[in-house]
Structures are given as structure tokens and as C-alpha cells.
A and B are shown apart, each in its own frame.
Chain A
């Protein structure tokens, strides 16, 4: 039984990890917590689902959905974040919530209020593993998430462009001095976050279906995962996501499934109160 819970927890956890990665990516470049991160996941899944339902072949639908999300991510930066020109945290929070609600509102109109579904990528035949049952889709989720993380790692560590990101997150001013195009990098970080989120949405939609409501909960859980791993710490975000997903699944299985989300949110409150700096980072002190 426990293996079943852990495996399904890791599957949803992988999505949380992707959302958390999106948060981390934008946060390390710009100190912005992009509340609309969850909506990108929703957009990815919804767009792909709608396109599939109109008969477009699955691979094409996926590519279009990813492209749409990427463009929307870029638009969020150019039309909302950049014009605001502020570092005030409260303003940014309210701003990104506005963006999230706006995206959600438009999605409501475009996609309608019903649930949508994507077909399983490689059929619905279940796999048996260590006494638990998995769908092949779960493997897609885990594999896809791992592939994305690997690609990001390669990009940031081994390419010049990627290294400029790392420079930016370490010291924005110095990065500018050595010729980093801050605006371009920020734009890319938003597009990339949106893409990552959308891929996550596409991967998970066959399992969980999707509706325009999905975004808010995902944003909250993804943020908690990012905090758990230490804000700005990319591997931590991944581990945080997996951990949160597993804890959620275990408590849903052993305690109560109706209150699965409630338990997750209680966990979130606890995480913020007890480990605001993440369980992997040492204690930070406020510098006066």
C-alpha cells in the first residue's frame, strides 16, 4: 500500500517540482515571485486537451500548447512585470495575482467551465511495480520531469547564455557590467518558466484531467515546494516538490482523502512557519 502512495505522490510531486522550478527560475533572476506560475501549468494542459478534442493529433497539439504557454509567459513579463518597474514585494505579489486571475478569467471564457481530458500518451495499460500499479503516464511524468531538469542543468552549467543567468542571480549589477542583457534574460526566464509549467500540465492532464481552477492550488503548492527546498535553490525546489507530493499522498491515503488539499495547505503553513529558509539551507539572519 505504502509503495502505491509513494509512487503516486512522486508523480504529482514531479509536477510540483516543475512549478517550483519555474518559481525558482524567475525568483533567482529577479526577486519576483510569479504567482501566475500555476496558470501556465493549466494553460499547457488545457490548450493541448482542447486541441486534441478538435481532432488535432496529440504530438502537434502538445507542441502548439507549449508554444502558446511560452508566448503567454513572455507577454506576462513584457506587459505586466516590466512596466511596473518596482521592487516593492507587496506590489509584485498583487500584480502577479492580478495576472493569474486575468489568465484564469480568460481561460474560463475560452475553454468553458467543464473538465477536459487528454488521452494517455502510450495507452492505458497499467504497469505493476513492487506490488503497486502505475499507469504508463506516470512514467511519462517522471521521465519528462527528469528530462527537463537535466536539460536545464546542461543549459545553465555549460552554455554561455545559461551562465549569464547564474551571474544575474548572484549579482544583478555586476552581471550588467559584464554585458548581460538583463531584459532578455528576464524575458527568457519567464518564457522558460511558462514552458516548464506547460509541459508539466500536459504530462499530468491524462491522469488528473484539468479545469481552469487548477492553477491556484498548483501555484500555492509549487511555491511551498520551492520554499521547502530553499527559495532560489533549484535542486532544492525539485526535492521539495517530490517531498511535498509524497507527504500529500501519504496523508491522503492514511488520514483522509477528502481533506487531501487541506492537509497539503496545513503542511504549507507549517513549512513557512518552521522552515522559511528551506530544510536544506542554513539559517539566515536579517542583516541590519
Chain B
């Protein structure tokens, strides 16, 4: 390895010399989008990508970085989303306060179940998180008097004093929400990258490689696992709250197993352990149903196929694989071989 990639670069696989330039271009492009996108449909598409990417980035910290698994993360998303409705409706909390309140609730739930659940590993953890996600779904689906049941429930408008935030139903609303969600995804991304490249991120990777060795290196692994679990839940819950106010409507499907699986597929496709991979995976899987609109019925089958193909052929995901090929191409160009 060359000297330019110093010992302090922990993520060799996903670090690529030109990567930073690409990110800057992407950022600039996203900022210019509101002036370019033709109609509401396009704004909505980008917003959906941002929402999914936020959850995916958080899940990636738990699964890709720390090596755990969660098949029920949609449950946290739904809990956040439903807080946007239930807190103002039943506790009279102003909608603006419902945002941090909902996030706190999700964090508390994650803290409560994280301790016991994360003592488990592998299949057991997978199955219990799956059960959690389904439990949230069953609860939301069967308590019609509180949550509106399978038909879902309308979300009150987000108000700040006398100002009301429109939902994504209008063009004006969708433009405002684009900016809001863009800020959110940027914050989410920057935070994730900061964690990844810090001493905390390094310890999380150690947990993934050998939990027992990490303990013997003096690290309180149990607290660390709960920390990353709660953090990933906060990502999901935050995305959920904002998504609820954006769409103006919530329903139990937000927590179903299919969404949890889509989330896992996003990070697997994009590259486990790579924040930008999570974003790309989210983008691809959000756009795919629209591109394959004719094949809407095959959505489940396609998802399953992607998972299987990725696990057999692209286990590291798109971004690390591409990153490696690009680095090789770059090195060959510079005759380093």
C-alpha cells in the first residue's frame, strides 16, 4: 500500500482518492435540483430517497459497521412516524415538539429492548428483531381506536406559531420539504461518517470482527452495542417522524417485514459498512419500483433475487466493489504495478 494512504485511514475498502470530489459534485447537484426538477412527482421521488437513505445509513452503522443484524428496523421507523400523530392527538403536544418527543420515545424503546436483545447473536438476534418489527405492526394494525388500525390515520399539520407547513401534496409544500429532507440526510450522512472514522467507529469494527477480543482489549462491548443500536433506531425514528409530517398520513405498512427487508437490501446492495453505499442502495431501491412499474407485481421476487445475487456474487456490495476496481484502474494507470 502506498504511503499516501496513511495508517490512519481505517476504511481502505471504501476510500477512493477521487471519492471526495464525487461527493462534492453530488452535493452541488442535489442543491441545484429544486430549480431543475419539472414537477411534484420528481420532488417526491428525491424526498423518498432521502427518507430511505436516512434509515439505511443508521441501519448500516448497526449491521455494516458493528456486525449486528436487525430485521425489524421498520418498527422504529413506524414508531417515529406514529408519534407524529399520537402525541399531538392524545397528549396535546404541539406538533413541532412532537418531533423531538417522538425521537426520544424511539430512543427509549431501543434502549429498553437493546440491552436484552443484543446479548443474542446471529440467527437469534435476527429472529428476535424480526419478531419486534412484526409486534409493532400487529399492535398498530389491531388497535383501531387508538391508531386507526389497518386504514391508518391522518397526521396533523406541522405548525410553528401561526405558520403551517404544507404536506407534500402541493408543489410549494414539496419544495420546502425537499430542502428539509436534504438538510436531514446531509446531517445524517456527516454524523455517520464522523462516527465511522473515529475511535468509536474503530471499536465498532472490532466488535464485528471478534467480540471477545474486543472485550479483552478493555472495551465495554455491551454498552457499545446498545449505543449503536439506539443510534440506528434514532436514525430510523427521525426519518419516520419527518416522513409522517411530509406525507400527512401513516399506516401500519410502515412497520411491516417487507420494509425491514427492503432496508436490509439497501445496505447490502450498496455495501455493508459504507455510508455512501447505504445512500446509493436506498436510491436504487427507491427508484426501481418506478422504473419497473410494469413489473410491480414482481417487486417481492425482484427484492429476493437482488438479496440472493448480492450474497453470492457481490457480498461486499456495490460501493466497495466499485471502489476497489476504480482504485486498481487508477493504480494501473499510474504504473504502480
By a beta-carbon cutoff of 8 Å, the part of chain A in contact with chain B is: 33, 80, 83-84, 86, 89-91, 93-95, 97-106, 108-109, 216-217, 220, 223-224, 227, 258-259, 261-262, 265-266, 268-269, 272-273, 276, 286, 288
Contact = CB atoms under 8 A, between A and B. Distances in A.
A238 B309 CA distance: 34
Contact of B122 (A93, A101, A102): A93
Contacts of B69: 90, 93
A220 B138 CA distance: 15
B304 A100 contact: yes
A102 B305 contact: yes
A223 B69 CA distance: 17
A109 B63 CA distance: 31
Contacts of A108: 297, 300-301
B135 A288 contact: no
- Residue of A91, A227, A259, A269 contacting most chain B CB atoms (<10 Å): A269
B169 to A, nearest CB: 29
Interface size bucket, B side? 35 or more
A216 B264 CA distance: 16
B123 A104 contact: no
A59 to B, nearest CB: 31
Interface in B296-320: 297-308, 310-312, 315
A102 B135 contact: no
A109 B301 contact: yes
Given A105-B301, A220-B134, A273-B119, A98 B308 contact: yes
Contacts of B124: 227, 272, 276
- Interface residue SS majority, chain A: helix
B116 interface: yes
Contacts of B121: 89
B123 A84 contact: no
Contact of A83 (B67, B122, B312): B312
A93 B126 contact: yes
Contact of A102 (B142, B212, B297, B301): B301
A14 B264 CA distance: 32
B71 interface: yes
Contacts of A258: 142
B41 interface: no
Contacts of A266: 131, 135
A23 B239 CA distance: 36
B139 interface: yes
Contacts of A80: 308, 312
Given A84-B311, A90-B67, A269 B301 contact: no
17 contacts: A86-B315, A89-B123, A93-B122, A94-B268, A94-B311, A98-B307, A101-B301, A102-B304, A102-B307, A105-B302, A105-B303, A220-B130, A223-B127, A265-B138, A272-B120, A276-B120, A286-B212
Interface string B98-123: 00000000000000000011011111
Given A101-B307, A102-B300, A105-B300, 6 more contacts: A93-B69, A259-B142, A265-B135, A272-B124, A273-B116, A276-B120
